[in-house]
Structure 1
Amino acid sequence: MLSGLAAALTVLAVVTAAPAEARPGRVQAADREIVFTADGTTAFGTLHVPEHRAGQRMRAALLLPGSGPTDRDGNQPPGSTPDTLAQVAGALGGDGIATLRFDKYGTGRTGLGAYREHPEELDHPAFVRQARAAYAVLRDQPETDPHALLVVGHSEGAMTGLLLSGSVLPRPAGLALLQPQAIRMLDLVALQLENQIAEATAQGVLTPDEQRTIVTAVHGAVTSLRAHRPVDTADLPPAVARLFEAFQGPDARFVESDDAVYPPDAAAALRPGITVLLTCGTDDAQVPCATTDALTRALHRARASGPGRVMLPGVDHLLHDRGHPDRLAPSVRDALRRFTRR
């Protein structure tokens, strides 16, 4: 098994769906299984190549999944299977853009790989290096234009894409940040917990005094984590206490490295003029639109070009709305189309 990044990649492309007979001069759409190696771990992904002219070099997008054990399709089976990234790939493919999505560490066929015996050593930079290796694979495909590459990240994957886009060559032509993690991780966790506690208080599950006690304990836990002190969980509900205990245990290295990133600072490394789309949904309880304010200002200072931030009325974190609970909301498809047409 080889280690290293773009310079030490082992790539295998296998056609997994036999294309139907194409029109004269056209190559039919098809999916290919892509296998590549980064940091001693073999990763598996799907390259979707839309119908195109024979010999055509086309735009191509690397798709990056959100937090937790989210696989190439944007799923956390068996409990959560929204197919978020598979649906994004379908939307982009319909507009003639090839896509590569892959099983990141801990998911799908990739699994933990080299981290199997010591998962506590897995940190956020490892996911960025894995994404960098995938970007190199996408760049080198015979159908893709290496000077027209896009990076599309969802949730935590958007933050990964932001870090990636400022460090790869050639620099991507466009970056789509879909419902992005736009503030530090622990600040976002605290905000999500505050909102959940406020809702429980509004429903009468907690008293206002209990609400204040728990919120104070949550902020104390965040302060302790950042100071590398043990977290006092005495005033936390059991489920919240277990969350912060995990943050001090096997997930400690990942949490610390993720929380060290302030996405607005990462925007400064972007190439001036890069096309950026930043979406936020008004029904997104995980990444409220207000959390993207500082990143939006930072992208403006970095001289990124539009469409910039696009607010999506009624859209949730999984890019659905109430009228389309199982597929991309029309406003999301619209925003992606505006992004790619630039």
Structure 2
Amino acid sequence: MFLRFAAVAMALAFTTVTPAEAAPRLVPAADREVVFTVDGTTTYGTLHVPEHRPGQRLPAALLLPGSGPTDRDGNQPPALTPNTLALVAEALGEDQVATLRFDKYGTGRTGLGAYEDRPEELDHPAFVRQAQAAYGVLRDQPETNRHALTIVGHSEGAMTALQLGGTVHPRPTGLALLQPQAIRLLDLVTLQLKDQIAEATRQGQFTPEEQRVINTAIDAAVTAMRERRPVDTTELPAPIAQLFEAFQGTSHQFVMTSDAIHPPDTVAALRPGTRVLVTCGTNDPQVPCATTDALTTALRHAHVGTPGRVTLHGVDHLLHDDAHPDTLAPAVLNALHRFTKC
């Protein structure tokens, strides 16, 4: 009997799998700096690679920031630091998606680059080319699955994502358009300004007649810009007058080339079946849900895939809600999770 037990014990000793064999060592999650050059400008970014098996190829997403001097993390320091894109990268990493985010022109370590001495020449296509180059960098990373590339854009970055979706190679398998700029730039500016004037009128800062005059002046200013005529700012409140003066100054090329894009028109170039997420927040005055109607219709006609438009109740433009002012709202996390699992 003892010999039989000894034989069994010896057999088990030779067949037992060691912990190292049962669970191969994982490569820990890490961020690394990425540097690439486009149009003579050295561009700096962060590649986030989640924990993975050695040699594993991961789905990967290019992250594109919103308008203005918004850096790779989704911040406009020092005044505005919501970390929007850094938090999106973290959320996607939890779903085993690698991400690349970068400092676009005028932000972070990249700065104005080749446009330092000629900022008036910086136009929207330059930002698109920069994003296209970043997509190529992400595609060529050793951890990237080239057949599972997506683009995630926030606000203005969502419009850029749409433009890339129909032009880059390989075509992305999905686009996540978070609180997207879904109508022409100056139409969106008009909507935002009129909403602000309406609120100021409700608070007694303007009379209804003054509100009407200002709204008419805003419409006239936009028409003048589109017709390449000087803008008459005499009927506009000082802050709005200064905005249109800036639109005619150094940023003129960018404003006009961005305004020339009607986002729903870019949808036709997407590959049928591309999965697309469009979000809108009910607490987002910058991109009201109604502004995404035409884009949603165009996507449906283009026969793209799910999850489609998702209304985020109580969520603002920076993807927060009242209970989560410093992190992504749960509704946002749920939408991103659905997108990655489609």
The one-letter code sitting in structure 2 at the alignment partner of 1:48 is H
Secondary structure of the corresponding residue to residue 146 of structure 2: strand
Aligned to 2:199: 199
- Give the secondary-structure state (helix, strand or coil) at the position aligned to 1:54: coil
Unaligned runs of 5+ in 1: 1-22
Q: Secondary structure at the match of 1:104?
A: coil
Aligned equivalents of 1:111, 1:164: Cα separation in 2: 22
In 1, Cα distance between equivalents of 2:197 and 2:208:
10
SS of match in other structure, 1:26: coil
Tell me what 1:210 maps to: 210
Q: CA deviation at 1:213?
A: 0.3
Q: How many angstroms apart in 2 are the aligned matches of 1:263 and 1:269?
A: 11
Under a length normalisation based on structure 1, what TM-score does the superposition of the two structures give? 0.93
In structure 1, the residue matched to 2:312 is 312
Higher helix share: 2
Structure 1 CA distance for aligned equivalents of residues 301 and 124 of structure 2: 26
1:151 has 2:151 as partner: yes
Q: Deviations over 1:67-100 (max 9, x none)?
A: 0000000000001000000000000001110000
Q: For the pair shown, which has the larger CA radius of gyration, 1 or 2?
A: 2
Give me the identity figure in percent: 72
Counterpart CA distance in 1 for 2:135 and 2:147 is: 12
d(CA) in 1 for partners of 2:294, 2:139: 31
Residue 288 (structure 2) aligns with: 288
Cross-structure match for 1:17: none
Q: Deviations over 1:188-233 (max 9, x none)?
A: 0000000000000111111000000000000000000000000010
1:332 aligns with 2:332: yes
- Distance in 2 (CA, whole Å) between partners of 1:252 and 1:49 is 38
TM-score under structure 2 length normalisation: 0.93
- Structure 1 equivalent of residue 279 of structure 2: 279
Q: Which residue is equivalent to 2:267?
A: 267
Alignment match, 2:131: 131
Count of residues in Structure 1 that have an aligned counterpart in Structure 2: 320
Partner of 1:6: none
Aligned-pair CA distance for 1:26: 1.1
The alpha carbon displacement at 1:34 in A equals 0.1
Map Cα deviations across residues 9-49 of structure 1 (whole Å, 9 max, x no partner): xxxxxxxxxxxxxx733111000100000000000000000
Amino acid at match of 1:320: H
C-alpha distance in structure 2 between counterparts of 1:158 and 1:47, whole Å: 19
CA contact (8 A) 2:33 2:45 kept: yes
**2:183 aligns to what?**
183
Q: Distance in 2 between matches of 1:147 and 1:43?
A: 25
- Aligned-residue CA RMSD in angstroms? 0.6
Map Cα deviations across residues 162-182 of structure 1 (whole Å, 9 max, x no partner).
001110010000100000000
Letter in 2 for 1:195: D
Following the alignment from structure 1 to structure 2, what is the Cα–Cα distance between the partners of residues 196 and 268? 34
2-side partners of 1:94 and 1:58: how far apart?
12
Q: Residue 182 of structure 2 aligns to which amino acid in structure 1?
A: A
The aligned counterpart of 2:90 is 90
Q: 4+ runs of 1 displaced by more than 6 Å?
A: none
Q: Which residue of 2 aligns with 1:109?
A: 109
- 1:52 match: 52
Corresponding residue number in structure 1 for 2:62: 62
Give how far 1:102 is off: 0.2
The answer on whether the counterparts of 2:63 and 2:99 sit within 8 Å (CA) in structure 1 is yes
Q: How far, CA to CA, are the matches of 1:256 and 1:230 in structure 2?
A: 14
> 1:241 matched to which residue of 2?
241
Distance in 2 of aligned mates of 1:184 and 1:63? 22
CA distance in 2, matches of 1:216, 1:318: 30
Give yes or no for contact 2:24–2:53 (8 Å, CA) kept in 1. Answer: no
**Alignment partner, residue 13 of structure 1:** none
Distance in 2 separating the partners of 1:121 and 1:164: 21
- Find the aligned partners of 1:269 and 1:198 in 2 and give their Cα distance: 38
Match of 2:36 in 1: 36
- The amino acid of 1:110's aligned partner reads T
Contact 2:149 2:174 in 1 (8 A): yes
Q: SS in structure 2 opposite 1:193?
A: helix
